[in-house]
Structure 1
Amino acid sequence: MKQHLISPVRRSLLGAALLCAAGLAQAQTAPQVLRVTAIPDESPTELARKAAPLVKYLESRLGMKVEFTPVSDYAAAVETLVNRKVDLAWFGGFTFVQAKVRSGGKVIPLVQRAEDEKFRSVFITADPAIQQLADLKGKDVSFGSQSSTSGHLMPRSFLLQAGVNPEKDFKRVAYSGAHDATIAAVASGKVQAGALNISVWDKFVADKKVDTTKVRAFYTTPTYYDYNWTVHADMPAALREKIAKAFLDLSPASAEGKAILELQRATRFVPTQADNYKGIEAAARSAELL
């Protein structure tokens, strides 16, 4: 009698265990989706244009669906990765530091462009009287986003080193929200000067999207580490390694690689590490932005 009572229970437990195991196996083989985002440092159309071929490439290399999800601002890019709403994020140096602090160190930078090892910002103007940083005193000056490394944090840091305090010395401090918007603000006369990412400026000049007889760069900053592709630390190591290798394998020798690298404004991708951004974190704390 006792045995008859236990046997059905055992069978039930065994059945449940088998169903659970089958469910886990199914979950492991089910199609996965890699969710990707990027800080909105340029217009939504430009970000989408840059993302499309990269998404297709990652899908082929990773064997999984990849979705690009735009975000409204820099803070949203940080929060979506910290809260694991996305798996991979294109950050500037400052947004990476914000994500690292916000997550308690639970984010890992995988790769950066070779150009990001020695990145720079430029200050531009259409005012002939502005020749150096000190000439910005009493002027309306625009940064990009407040959380931008190359459009705000590092330009501010170099201004302070030059003895120029934006809040005290500028007539007005403006924030355009993106690098291309800063160029537009200077070109239209809304502000007398602006600071932005050097690669965006160089691209605008090369594509003749800015009249360099009117708008010019008058100061280029020293170099610093900037952008990277970052994942949450909870991502399995094997997937992290596959993603990193996919970026590292991009080469201008192939048509696909050349197209993707050109859109990313990169000659190649190289490995990176959190320690590379200690200078950015120090600058942010010094400027009381962190």
Structure 2
Amino acid sequence: MTSRLSRRAFNALLAASALGLSGLSAQSMAQQATSQQVLRVSAIPDEAPTELQRKFKPLGAYLEKKLGMKVEFIPVTDYASSVEGLINHKLDMVWFGGFTFVQANVRSKGQVVPLVQREEDEKFQSVFITTKSDIRKLEDLKGKTFTFGSESSTSGHLMPRSYLLSAKINPDTDLKRIAFSGAHDATVAAVAGGKVDAGALNISVWEKLIAENKVDTKQVHVFYTTPGYFDYNWSVRTDMPADLQKKISEAFLSLNTNDPRDKEILDLQRTKRFIPTKADNYKAIEAAAHNAGLLK
């Protein structure tokens, strides 16, 4: 019997049998003992894999302590993999962009729920960058080459495309050529390297690269910043036990910049605090995706 069940599960079976607990069978206790031993976490690959791992390491250690369970970061190759991983029970919690949350929620028929977001994600923004002196506004992009980030990126594709369409610029017909860099830092590299005339990325990565002196603002500059919109969040499936969802939310919400260890985590996540969020906050993102023809 112990060859089929872990020692913890086997002990749970013995306890249930010995005590004769009402309303809870020995089998169900064993199932509880073997379930959710590891919280499998991932994030959309909007930055280099090494950067994502670096950002998550102290957060993962913090969550392990708060939740009393092992937390494992599982990198994914693309945005679609993060959506499918959560829906198909290969992942338990994912750092989604607004658009990937919408995709996951639609694909799962409402079985994905966002728990928390950074305060900044209530009014997130995208920036359009260029090295060209003759590009000063969105309309100047006509006939130019341009790169988005990932096709499933909210701040690197969906919202920039949405604002281009609002300016009566169809990226597919009015631009000379469009590309997809795959990540925000790659967009900056493509623009700085002269591979394209301009590009769009999220403002958080842009500001981080400036702070780290990884971009020369005398060469590459912002010529348009979008209005604010809801973006990133930590999401789980609705079938995750309610008490675990609560513990995860409380762990994020209790992070405090006055605690040096918490501040390290918050700084890496590029925020001062996390706040609760809900699915309804992303209705505008869903509408924008439909209008841009990116969500069927």
Structure 1 length-normalised TM? 0.92
Correspondent of 1:262 among 260, 267, 270: 267
1:276 aligns with 2:285: no
2:221 alignment counterpart: 216
Cα distance, 1:28 vs structure 2: 2.9
Cα distance, 1:155 vs structure 2: 0.4
One-letter amino acid of the counterpart of residue 161, structure 2:
R
The equivalences for 1:27-176 within 5 A come to: 27-30=31-34, 32-176=37-181
Cα distance, 1:21 vs structure 2: 4.4
The equivalences for 1:161-240 within 5 A come to: 161-240=166-245
One-letter amino acid of the counterpart of residue 174, structure 2:
D
One-letter amino acid of the counterpart of residue 155, structure 1:
P
One-letter amino acid of the counterpart of residue 102, structure 1:
R
Structure 2 gap ranges (5+): 1-13, 19-23
One-letter amino acid of the counterpart of residue 193, structure 1:
A
1:25 alignment counterpart: 29
The structure with the largest alpha-carbon Rg is: 1
Structure 1 gap ranges (5+): 1-14
Cα distance, 1:188 vs structure 2: 0.3
Cα distance, 1:256 vs structure 2: 1.4
Q: Distance in 1 between matches of 2:225 and 2:70?
A: 41
- Superposed CA deviations along residues 121-165 of structure 1, whole A, max 9, x for unmatched, are 000001111100011111110000000000000000001001111
Q: RMSD value over aligned CA atoms?
A: 1.6
Q: Distance in 2 between matches of 1:254 and 1:55?
A: 17
One-letter amino acid of the counterpart of residue 223, structure 1:
G
Q: Distance in 2 between matches of 1:129 and 1:218?
A: 10
- Superposed CA deviations along residues 27-46 of structure 1, whole A, max 9, x for unmatched, are 43457100001000000010
SS state of the match for residue 270, structure 1?
A: strand
2:294 alignment counterpart: 289
Q: Distance in 2 between matches of 1:22 and 1:54?
A: 36
Q: Distance in 1 between matches of 2:78 and 2:177?
A: 22
Correspondent of 1:244 among 225, 249, 274: 249
One-letter amino acid of the counterpart of residue 247, structure 1:
F
Q: Distance in 1 between matches of 2:85 and 2:32?
A: 24
Cα distance, 1:255 vs structure 2: 1.2
- Superposed CA deviations along residues 75-117 of structure 1, whole A, max 9, x for unmatched, are 0000000111111000000000000000000001000000000
Q: Distance in 1 between matches of 2:49 and 2:197?
A: 26
Q: Distance in 2 between matches of 1:255 and 1:68?
A: 23
Q: Distance in 2 between matches of 1:58 and 1:158?
A: 37
Cα distance, 1:50 vs structure 2: 0.5
- Superposed CA deviations along residues 153-204 of structure 1, whole A, max 9, x for unmatched, are 0000001001111011110010000000000000000001000000000111
* Runs of 4+ that moved beyond 6 A: none
One-letter amino acid of the counterpart of residue 197, structure 2:
Q
Number of aligned residue pairs: give it: 275
2:10 alignment counterpart: none
Higher mean alpha-carbon deviation, 214-223 vs 20-29, is at 20-29
Structure 2 length-normalised TM? 0.90
1:10 alignment counterpart: none
SS state of the match for residue 235, structure 2?
A: strand
Q: Distance in 2 between matches of 1:29 and 1:137?
A: 60
Cα distance, 1:237 vs structure 2: 0.5
